[in-house]
Homo-oligomer: A and B are copies of this chain.
Amino acid sequence: MSEAVSALALAARTGQAGEEPAYDLIELFFFAYRDFVSDPDRILAEYGFGRAHHRILHFVARRPGMTIAELLDILKITKQSLNRVLKELIDKGYVEQRPGQSDRRQRLLWPTNQGRELALRMARLQTRRIARALAGDDGEEAIRRFLIGMIDPVERAKVRNRLSGAKLGA
């Protein structure tokens, strides 16, 4: 047990990383993500939605009252790209727009009940997969640290704020 640190983590520490690429982790990450997004895909198909709809709905449901600008910064896509998909979610009654209180140029995004339910349904499915992956394991904190570490340093602070501040923006 407690078998010191892996060669990779050690290499990172000493600064001499990159002898042998971490092929297994690279591929595991690919396979894990491939299947992770396949869960919601099945539900979305029932509604005639795609992955883009899921991403938007998820963040709107999690952070009610978000601005367009913040959503763009999270998704890293253009506003034209966002708008096409967002419009469908609004037309079909999953998301609503309300003018900002302090700044009336903003059109804050809110989930409808329908939207909240759909988002929750997909989150539950993904949670089931995560729970299964964690079953009987006590390394959850290590995983959290790892995932945070995978994020661009510049983005990391933003993500932390978003995670802790979620749902409080309401």
Nearest B-chain residue to A139, judged by Cβ: B142
Q: How far is the CB of A166 from chain B (nearest CB, A)?
A: 7
The contact of A21 among B36, B120, B148, by CB within 8 Å, is: B120
Nearest B-chain residue to A159, judged by Cβ: B31
- Contacts A139-B146, A141-B139, A143-B142; A163 near B133 (Cβ below 8 A): no
The contact of A149 among B12, B34, B132, B149, by CB within 8 Å, is: B132
Q: When each residue 1-44 of chain A gets 1 if its CB lies under 8 Å from chain B and 0 otherwise, what string results?
A: 01111101101110001100111111111111111101000000
**Chain A, interface SS category:** helix
> Contact between A36 and B129 (Cβ–Cβ < 8 Å)?
no
- CA–CA, A74 to B42, complex, Å? 19
Point out the residues of chain B lying under 8 angstroms from A3, CB to CB: 138
The contact of A130 among B26, B123, B141, by CB within 8 Å, is: B26
- CA–CA, A149 to B134, complex, Å? 7
> Contact between A138 and B23 (Cβ–Cβ < 8 Å)?
no
Check if A144 is an interface residue, CB within 8 A of chain B.
Answer: yes
> Contact between A133 and B152 (Cβ–Cβ < 8 Å)?
no
- CA–CA, A152 to B18, complex, Å? 30
Given contacts A5-B138, A28-B148, A31-B151, 14 further A-B contacts (CB under 8 A): A9-B134, A17-B131, A17-B132, A23-B123, A23-B166, A26-B123, A26-B130, A32-B146, A32-B150, A33-B150, A35-B155, A133-B149, A139-B139, A140-B142
